[in-house]
Amino acid sequence: MGKIKILTEKVANQIAAGETIESTASIIKELIENSIDAKASQIDIILEQNGLNKITIKDNGIGMDPEDIHCCFFRHATSKIESLSDLSTITSYGFRGEAISAIASVCKMTITSRSASSQFAIKISLMGEKLINTSRAGRSIGTTVDIESLFFNTPVRLKFLKDSSSELKKIEDIIKQFSLANHNIHYRLFLNEYLKLNLIPIKSIKELQPRIIDCLNKDLTNHLFYFEKKTSNFLLNGFLSSPYISRKDSLGLLTYVNNRFIKSSILIQSIKIAYDTLMQNSRYPLGVLFFYIQPEYIDINIHPQKAQIKFLHTDDIQKDLILSIKSFLSNTPWSYNLNKESNSTLKNNLINISPVLKNKRERLFPITESHNALLKQEKEKYCDLKFIGQIFNTFLILEKSHTLILIDQHAAHERINFERLNMQKNKIIPSRRLLFPQIITVSRVDLLTLLEKIKIFSEYGFELEPFGASQVCIKSIPIELSDSQAKTLILNTLSDLHTENWPTSLISFSNKIISTIACHASIKAGQHLKTIEVKSLLSQLDAINYSTHCPHGRPVTYAISSQTIAKWFSRT
């Protein structure tokens, strides 16, 4: 007897629901998306017992006509697309017509909605997708969705929800994520009666800074910089941190594609590679990046929760992204004075958010010394500053009004040499022939990749030859690299190619070789310099970009304010 059975629609729906609706947080995400799609300017999220008892989402959007309310909970019921081709122009969050039906299949759901064309609201109640009640109700234009008895028919899922405090954190994060992209909306989160989050509308993206600092890390105060860039393919704007604030993972980078919060590896890798020579130990900066592209160049329909995206022309987009971010970084905005206007905007917003929070923030996170001392200054030319002398034959001391500046002579020269080499159009990397060619073993996939890129390796001074089915013979290497450095670089580049694509791997490969050459060719620590040599070094430093860090990401300068020095002597 045959074993195959066709699942009933009810069971199939419950299984499908599992893909989108796995927790209270995912329900709230879907319902906020619906409210935003309905052009709401006010969204209230009300949780009883962190959402375990009841979730209510109330908006003042366009609402639904009575006939729409009666079909919005059917599977594949949507007002957002009519055919698949509409996906190439879609700007709404929803398009599958699945969320309401998926949520309804695992709880008791009540929807009350009124559109502008109706004198009254319609209220419908469903239990596990079954309509149990319909009535008229009073409410202003907009929609309210109440969720109760969550996961009553999927007890296993209910069990996973019991840690409601971590779920609450997720819910708060989701609301904050929406409030960054759709910042013209007023969001409130109530826990029972208590107002837990009150995110007021913000008019311009440039005023988002305090909210981002609040979401990401308080240490970002004075270290977060706005930028925007328009190319023929995309528009990019957002805030990125100075290299002095970083994390070992990418969790401090919030990326959005067409206003949708997406952890996009293309965006994150591009940011990382643009910062490559400004940070040590492959760390990540923090920030929020909004990327806008014509919908036809992306595919959003690849993940049940629409949390991933596929780009067409990935390589071209990534190259442009890296260039855009690098050009922002080349201005080293963190070494300029913070202009007065942005300071006052910051202040006003802090007051708007909450006076208590403002005091707390100032108390907990006073602006620290070191690099911030330099932040407060206008970017000046180092060669115009008073040169005091060299200490330990390693550091140069300069004085500018109220600030003492220390410069690491080796790091400074390394950056100068790195930029000079990088500027050369056709970089000629001198190579040396190994007396005894080295054999390295690689996987079959790595060997194929290497064969594909062998010409590029040779442009950077490597002469490589396949040796059997899984080995490579290294015949020549760049003159400045040791045998083991060269071997590691080849292996690392091949392994990078598994996680990153070629544009990013090539840049980090090239950066590594050039920074090693730059390092070997630079003035060493412990080397005495004549004043004339110092002056020349400083004017070369003034002439290049990215002058605040050596190509390995170590800082070139360190500033100490006169106030700090006075404090050392109890002079305040």
Ligand X SMILES: Nc1ncnc2c1ncn2[C@@H]1O[C@H](COP(=O)(O)OP(=O)(O)OP(=O)(O)O)[C@@H](O)[C@H]1O
Tell me how far, at minimum, the Cβ of 31 lies from ligand X, in Å.
Answer: 7
Tokens of 231: 């190319």
Residue 287 touching ligand X (CB under 6 A): no
Of 257 and 373, the one with the shorter C-beta distance to ligand X is 257
Q: 437 is in the binding site of which of ligand X, Mg ion, none (Cβ under 5 to 8 A by kind)?
A: none
Segment near Mg ion (CB under 5 A); pick from 29-37, 218-226, 281-289, 540-548: 29-37
Tell me how far, at minimum, the Cβ of 538 lies from ligand X, in Å.
Answer: 58
Query: Rounded to an integer, what distance in angstroms lies between the CA atom of residue 281 and that of residue 80?
Result: 46
Tell me how far, at minimum, the Cβ of 367 lies from ligand X, in Å.
Answer: 43
Nearest partner of 26 among 156, 161, 149, 126, judged by Cα: 161
Of 98 and 380, the one with the shorter C-beta distance to ligand X is 98
Residue 64 touching ligand X (CB under 6 A): yes
Tell me how far, at minimum, the Cβ of 446 lies from ligand X, in Å.
Answer: 40
Residue 252 touching ligand X (CB under 6 A): no
User: 480 vs 130, 189, 280, 458, CA distance in Å?
Assistant: 73, 59, 21, 15
From the list 42, 79, 476, 501, which residue makes contact with ligand X (rule: CB under 6 A)? 79
From the list 61, 63, 94, 238, which residue makes contact with Mg ion (rule: CB under 5 A)? 94
Tokens of 13: 């729906």
From the list 99, 199, 279, 373, which residue makes contact with Mg ion (rule: CB under 5 A)? 99
Segment near ligand X (CB under 6 A); pick from 63-71, 281-289, 386-394, 487-495: 63-71
Tell me how far, at minimum, the Cβ of 108 lies from ligand X, in Å.
Answer: 17
Residues belonging to the chain:
572
Of 94 and 553, the one with the shorter C-beta distance to Mg ion is 94
Of 14 and 510, the one with the shorter C-beta distance to ligand X is 14
- What order of strands is seen across the sheet that includes strand 395-400? 386-391, 395-400, 403-408, 557-561
57, 45 contact by CB (below 8 A): yes
From the list 20, 26, 34, 547, which residue makes contact with Mg ion (rule: CB under 5 A)? 34
236, 290 contact by CB (below 8 A): yes
Of 34 and 557, the one with the shorter C-beta distance to ligand X is 34
Cβ-based neighbours of 314, under 8 Å, separated by 6 or more: 266, 501
- Stretch (H or E) spanning 37: helix 24-37
12, 6 contact by CB (below 8 A): no
Owner of token pair 């200054």 = 377
Cβ-based neighbours of 568, under 8 Å, separated by 6 or more: none
Residue 99 touching ligand X (CB under 6 A): yes
From the list 77, 87, 307, 404, which residue makes contact with ligand X (rule: CB under 6 A)? 77
Name the H helices within 38-163. Answer: 66-69, 99-104, 155-160
Residue 78 touching Mg ion (CB under 5 A): no
Q: 72 is in the binding site of which of ligand X, Mg ion, none (Cβ under 5 to 8 A by kind)?
A: ligand X
Cβ-based neighbours of 212, under 8 Å, separated by 6 or more: 180, 220, 224, 239, 287, 288
**Binding residues for ligand X, per CB under 6 A?**
30, 34-35, 38, 59, 61-64, 68, 72, 77-80, 94-101, 143
**Binding residues for Mg ion, per CB under 5 A?**
34, 94, 99
